[in-house]
Amino acid sequence: MLGNVIAFKQFSVTKGLFGSPWVGFDQFERFFGSYEFWRLLGNTLSISFYTLIASFPFPILLAIGLHYATNERFKKTVQMVTYAPYFISLVVLVGLLLQFLDPRTGVLNAMLGWFGVEPINFMAEASMFQSIYVWSHVWQNVGFACIIYLAALAGIDPSLHEAGVMDGASKLQRIWHIDIPSIMPIAVILLILNTGTVMETGFEKILLMQNSLNLRTSEVIDTYVYKVGLISQALNFSYATAIGLFKAVIGFILIVVVNGAAKKMGQESLW
């Protein structure tokens, strides 16, 4: 927390944290007035909300499917296949993506070629970057994310399902009226927590997937901070810290707003 003071100073390594002069909100005004501000904010929010919406339902659907699977071998196989991508290093994962999407040797372009489609350089298409990022994220995390829902489903009182069967409820009706309401409090809590990280877009993965051709849609606040704060010719720690503090404040506000909305709707909340 003390390091955030740098955001309000013109930090100099030689003068130190306390010796550097105060500049107030100059760093924030510089960022808000930058011609890149709206592009960075738009890319960050679009990727974050796209990821949030796309990745929210799939762990629930997978957990319900596994919960009702009767063949243990099939169930364990699906669990292993869906959990495994989570443990793949991001560097390896992006390397696999680049290989699959390669316009000359990629598997996807080879399959498109069977239908007479010309090879597509997916990573050079700025309009495709966000979809590639989001759906590869879903593929990598869906198996691991469903674990908490499996635990919640396992904790449902069996007598509720027994009563449903006795009343003639179908499996789909029991899922809709018993399972989903039972795991909804967990889903709301996770949604609130994920909303608080909406300004965090997975810096490492985006940086690895980024190139000069897709920079228009791939440049987000995290990668911009890295470039201006650590690898630029003129290192500006104060400017980078101010941007990071701005992100943290937005995340805090979103958590408070979504938590309040959940309470008003009668759902579970963090406080």
Rounded Cα–Cα distance for residues 75 and 69 (Å): 6
Rounded Cα–Cα distance for residues 227 and 37 (Å): 15
Chain segment 137-164, per-residue pLDDT in tens: 999 999 988 999 999 898 888 899 889 8
Provide the pLDDT confidence category of residue 82 given band limits of 50, 70 and 90.
very high
> What is the overall mean pLDDT for the chain?
88
Rounded Cα–Cα distance for residues 87 and 67 (Å): 23
> 248: which 2 tokens?
């943290």
State residue 40's pLDDT score: 92
Q: How far apart are the first and last CA of the chain?
A: 23
Residue 123: how many other CB atoms lie within 10 Å: 22
Task: Give the total residue count for the chain.
Answer: 271
Name residue 49's amino acid: F
**Does residue 210 carry a pLDDT above 80?**
yes
pLDDT average, residue stretch 44-68: 92
Rounded Cα–Cα distance for residues 114 and 226 (Å): 42
Positive or negative torsion for Cα 66, 68, 69, 71: positive
% of the chain at pLDDT higher than 70: 99
Strand partners, 22: 9
pLDDT average, residue stretch 98-127: 89
Alpha helices in 197-234 (DSSP H): 203-209, 215-218, 221-226
Q: Are 246 and 224 in contact (CB under 8 A)?
A: no
Name residue 225's amino acid: V
Q: Are 228 and 236 in contact (CB under 8 A)?
A: yes
